[in-house]
Chain A
Amino acid sequence: MCALPAILIVDREPPPLAWADWLRVCGGFAILGLVLWLVVFLVGGRKPAPTAPRRHRLFLATLGLALPLVGISLLLSATGQFGATPSHLLTLASGTALIGVAAPFVLDLTRLRPRRLGAIAWLSIMEAIRRKVLWAYLVLVVVFLFAGWFIPYKPEDQVRTYIHVIFWTMSPLLLVTAGLLAATAIPADIQNQTMVTLLTKPVERFEIVLGRLLGHVALMTVVLFALGGISLLYVLRGVDPDAAFESLRARQPLYGQLVFERGGRRDFSGEQSLREWDYRRYIAGGRASSHRAVWLFTDLPADLAGRPSVPCEYAFGIFRLSRPVDEEKGIGCALTFRTWRWHPSREAAYRQERDRHGLTPEVLDRLAETYGIYEESRVVTNKRTFASVVPGGLFRNALSNLPSEGLAGPLLEIEVRCLEAGQYLGVARHDLYLLDDDGFFASNFLKGLVGLWCRLCLVIGVAVACSTYLNGLVAWLSSLVVFGLGLLLDYLTELARGTNVGGGPFEAFLRLSRGDYTTPLDLTPTTRVVSGADEVYRWFVRYVVLPAVPDVERWSWTQYVAEGFDIPAGLILPALVALAGYLLPWLVLAYYLMKVREISA
C-alpha cells in the first residue's frame, strides 16, 4: 500500500450553472449597450439607418422603462430605506433591457438559411486550405520528434509528462492560430472589398458572422482531432509498462456525500480556512477532538460485492498550527469504513475476534463481511494521494440483506479522523473516493480534447465577434486578452474583493512610491483618496470586467487525462452549456456591430 503518484487535485470545482446570475449579467450588459447606443447615435448625431425605425422605438421604450427602474433602485439603496438594495427592481430593469436587446436578434434568427451559412463556412475552410495555412500545424509534429530529448524521463511519470507536453504545446498553438484566423477573416473581407460583393447578395449580415464562426470551428475541430489522433499514437507508442500501469488509465471514482461531525452531531460544516479560495473545510486533530469528516455512500454498484477488494483513494490538505521541522512529514489519520449493518453493540465482539486472529487480509475480509466494519490508520502528507485496499467482504456485507422498502440511511460511511493535536485536516467531497472501474485511456484522451475544443470555440467566438468592429490584429489580441483574463480569473476575483496582497493598483502605487509594503495605511487625506480610487476600481472590476471574463478553467481537463482519471460525463455537459451561455452575448454584440457597419473602402 504505497503512496500512488497519481494525484487528482481539483483546486476549485467548476461553479454550478447559475441561470439567474447569467440572466442578470446579460441584462446588465444590455442596459450598458442601450445607454451606449443612446449616446453614440442620438447624442453623436449619427443616423443609424439600418436599424429600422421600429427597432429604434423598441430601444427607446426599453430604455425608458429600464433607466427609471435603475434610478429608483439606486436612490432607494442610497437612502437606505427598505433595508438592502431593492434587487427585484434591478432584476426587472435588466430583464426589460434584455428583452429589448434580444428580441430583434431572436426574430432575425428565423431568417438564417443553412445553405448560406454553409457557403460562408465552406469559404473559410477553403481559404485556409488554399492558402496552405494548415501546414503550420506540422510544427507540432516537430515538437513531438524532439520533445523526447528534453523531457526528464522517469518511467512512472512518462505518460503524465507526455500528456502535459502535448496539451501545453497544442493549446497555445491552436488557440493563438485559431484566434488569428478567425479574427482576420471579416476585416480582410472588408479590406479587400469582398464584403461588398457578399453583401449585395441576399445574405443577412449576421449570417456572415455566424458562418465564419462555424467555418472556423469546423476547421479547428478537424485540426484538433487530427493532431490529437497523432498525439495519441505518439503516447501509446512505446509506453513504458510501469507508466502504462500508473497513468494509461481512466479511473472511474465513486464519490460520496461529505458531512462533518462534531460532538457526535452532524450539524457542523467544518472549520473554514483563512484562505478565501480554499475549497477544503477543516477538522481539528488530536485524540480529544470530536471532529470527523464522513463520506456517505447511498448508492453502490452491485458488482462491488463480487470483487476481492476495492481500492479507496484519498488526498487531503493539511493545515498546521505549528510549523514542523519537516514539512514533508505526514500526519496520522484514521479511517473507519462502516456499512449500514454495523451496530455499535457488536463492537466488543468485533474487537475480541480481531485481536484473537491478527490482522491478515483474510481475517480482515471475513470480519468486514460479518460485522460490516473495516478500520485503517495511516500517515498522509499534504495533497498526496494514498490508497487503502478495502476488503471485498465489506461490500458483500453492505449489499446483502437489503430491506425491500429501501434504506433510510446510507449503505456505507467512511469516517476520517485526524490523530495529531494542533493539526487540521482539510477535506472536500472529491478528496476521497472508491475506485469503481477503469475506462479506456484513449477515449478519455479524446474527452480531454473536448475541453480544448471548448476553449478553441471560445477564442474563435470572441475573435469573430470583436472583428465585426475592430481590425483583425486588434480583434485577435482582444480575444487573447479575454482568454488571458480568464486564466487570471481567481486573481481578478481577489482583486475585486480587495483580498489580494498589496491592495488595489492605486494603493500599490502609493506603497511603491513610499517604499513601504507592509504597514497598514494611516488615515491621511492622500490615503483616503487612494483607497477611494481603489474602491471605484474594484467596483469596475467586479461589476464590469469580471462578468465578461470566461471561467476558462471549466474547460481544462488535462489534469484528469494526465493523472489517469476518467473525465466524468457530469463535467462535460455543463461545460458545453456554459460555453454556449458565454458566447451568446458576444454573438448578440456582433449582430448589432455588424448591422451598423458601413462597408466603405
Chain B
Amino acid sequence: MSADILIETRHLTKVYRDFWGRPKKVALRALNLQIERGEVFGLLGPNGSGKTTTIKLLLGLLFPTEGEAFLFGRPASDVAKNARIGYLPEEPYLYRFLNAEETLDFYGRLFNMPAARRRQRAAELIELVGLTADRKRVLREYSKGMRQRIGLAQALMNDPELVILDEPTSGLDPIGTRWMKDLIHDLQRRGKTVLMCSHRLDDVQDVCDRIAILHEGELQELGAVRTLLQDADRVEMQASGLPLSEELRQDLEALVQKYGGRLDHLGHPTTTLEALFLRIVAESKAHPGRRYLPSQS
C-alpha cells in the first residue's frame, strides 16, 4: 500500500442483523475504495444508500460483516488512529448541558491535550466558527446551524489530517453553506484530506475532487468530478455588456454554423438562487435596514 493512501476499503460489506443474528438489511456491498492524501472525496447517494454506514465502518463504530477497512494503513478498529481524524457526525451529537467552551475543552481532554493548549485551541476554533458571542451558552439553547458549527469546531480540535464530514451543510443557511465550502477548500489548501458525504449535489460538485456514488449499498460510479460532469460535445460562452437583439442572434448563428455547430440557446443566464441570496444578504449587511430591490438597480 502506498503511503499516500489514507483510506482503503477492501470488499467492505455490512449486513445489519437483528438480535438473533438474522440478516435484516444489506447496507453496504463489497465496497472497494482508495482515498489519497490531499483529496476532497465525496460520497454521494440518496437517503438510505449506505453513506453513513460506510463512515461508521471506517471509524470503527460498526464492525464489517465482511471485508476490511484501513485508515493510515491501520485497521479501522484501532483506537489510536482517532488522534489524526476529525469527524463531524450527521447531526452534531454533543452534550446539550455543556456550553461551547466546555464542549471543546472536554473533547480536548479526550485527545489528552494539556490545559493551556486546550484553552488556546478552543478560543481559536470558536472564533473560526463564529460562536464567540455564544460561547458561554449551553448547547441546549443552540439553533441547528449553531450546533453544526460547534460540531465542526469539535471535529477540528486536534487539527486532524483527515476530516470526515457527514452531511456538513445540513442545517446551514446559504451563507453557512458557502462558509463551509470555503472551509473545506481551506482545509484542502492546508494539505488535509476530506471525506464528505452528502446528497446535496451542488455542494459536492463545488468542493469535491472525486466522488463515489452509492445506491442501495452498491458503488455505482467513481471518478473525478470534472471528468464525470464534462459534456464533451457542448460549448458554453458567456459575455457581459452585450444587448440582446435579433441581429446578434443571426450573426452568431452564422458564425457557429461556419464552424460546423448549431446554436441551441441564446439568452440571459438565470442566476442561481444561492447567488441571489448571497447578494441580498451582502447588500443588507452593507446598508442595514434598507430593503434590497433588484428591479431598481
Contact = CB atoms under 8 A, between A and B. Distances in A.
Nearest to A120: B110
Contact of B154 (A45, A111, A197, A199): A197
A36 interface: no
B56 to A, nearest CB: 7
A126 B85 contact: no
Nearest to B81: A202
B79 A204 contact: yes
B63 interface: yes
Interface string B104-123: 00110111100000000000
A131 B21 CA distance: 38
B164 to A, nearest CB: 8
Given A126-B102, A197-B87, A201-B110, A599 B79 contact: no
Nearest to A199: B61
A269 interface: no
Interface stretch (A47-55, A319-327, A509-517): A47-55
Interface string B1-45: 000000000000000110001000000000000000000000000
B112 A194 contact: no
B98 interface: yes
Interface in B65-107: 65-66, 77, 79-83, 85, 87, 89, 91-95, 97-98, 102, 106-107
Given A127-B95, A197-B87, A599-B56, A202 B62 contact: no
Contacts of A119: 106, 109-110
B138 interface: yes
A47 to B, nearest CB: 6
A200 interface: yes
Contact of B95 (A45, A123, A196, A600): A123
Contacts of A130: 97-98, 138
Contact of A202 (B83, B102, B138): B83
B214 interface: no
B85 to A, nearest CB: 7
B112 A115 contact: yes
Interface in A15-66: 44-50, 52
Given A44-B21, A118-B109, A202 B97 contact: no
Contacts of B93: 192-197
Contacts of B83: 202
A200 B61 contact: yes
B94 A197 contact: yes
B72 to A, nearest CB: 13
Nearest to B164: A200
A387 interface: no
A193 B91 contact: yes
Contacts of A204: 79
Contacts of A198: 110
Nearest to B76: A49
B89 A197 contact: yes
Contact of B79 (A131, A202, A598): A202
A193 B87 CA distance: 13
B125 interface: no
Given A193-B89, A198-B110, A199-B60, A46 B102 contact: no
A1 to B, nearest CB: 63
B184 interface: no
Interface string A201-238: 11111000000000000000000000000000000000
Interface size class of B (residues with CB under 8 A): 35 or more
A127 B61 contact: no
Interface string A177-203: 000000000000000111111111111
Nearest to B21: A44
Given A193-B89, A599-B61, A600-B56, A50 B77 contact: yes
A50 B60 contact: yes
A116 interface: yes
B50 interface: no
B59 interface: yes
B263 to A, nearest CB: 53
Contact of A45 (B16, B21, B87, B112): B21
A196 to B, nearest CB: 5
A113 interface: yes
B217 interface: no
B28 to A, nearest CB: 13
A195 B65 CA distance: 21
A2 B81 CA distance: 75
A126 B97 contact: yes
Contacts of B138: 130
B168 interface: no
Interface in A354-384: none
Contacts of B107: 197, 201
Nearest to B61: A599
Given A196-B61, A197-B89, A202 B56 contact: no
Nearest to A600: B62
A362 B110 CA distance: 75
Given A46-B21, A196-B93, A600-B61, A202 B87 contact: no
The residue among A44, A118, A195, A200 with the most chain B CB atoms within 10 A of its own CB is: A200
Contacts of B112: 113, 115-116, 202
Contacts of B79: 111, 202-205
Contacts of B81: 202
Contacts of B106: 119, 122-123
A119 B102 CA distance: 11
A599 B98 CA distance: 23
A457 B244 CA distance: 82
Given A199-B60, A201-B111, A47 B65 contact: yes
Most A C-beta atoms less than 10 A away, residue of B85, B87, B95, B102: B95
A47 B154 CA distance: 32
Contact of A200 (B66, B87, B91): B87
A234 B288 CA distance: 64
Contacts of A199: 59-61, 82
A196 B97 CA distance: 17
Contacts of A598: 61-63
A598 B109 CA distance: 24
A328 B272 CA distance: 99
Contacts of B56: 196, 599-600
17 contacts: A45-B21, A47-B64, A48-B63, A50-B77, A115-B112, A119-B110, A123-B95, A130-B138, A193-B91, A194-B94, A196-B56, A197-B94, A201-B82, A202-B80, A202-B83, A598-B62, A600-B61
Interface of A: 44-50, 52, 111, 113, 115-116, 118-119, 122-123, 126-127, 130-131, 192-205, 598-600
Given A200-B82, A203-B82, 9 more contacts: A48-B63, A116-B112, A127-B95, A194-B95, A199-B60, A200-B59, A200-B85, A202-B82, A599-B56
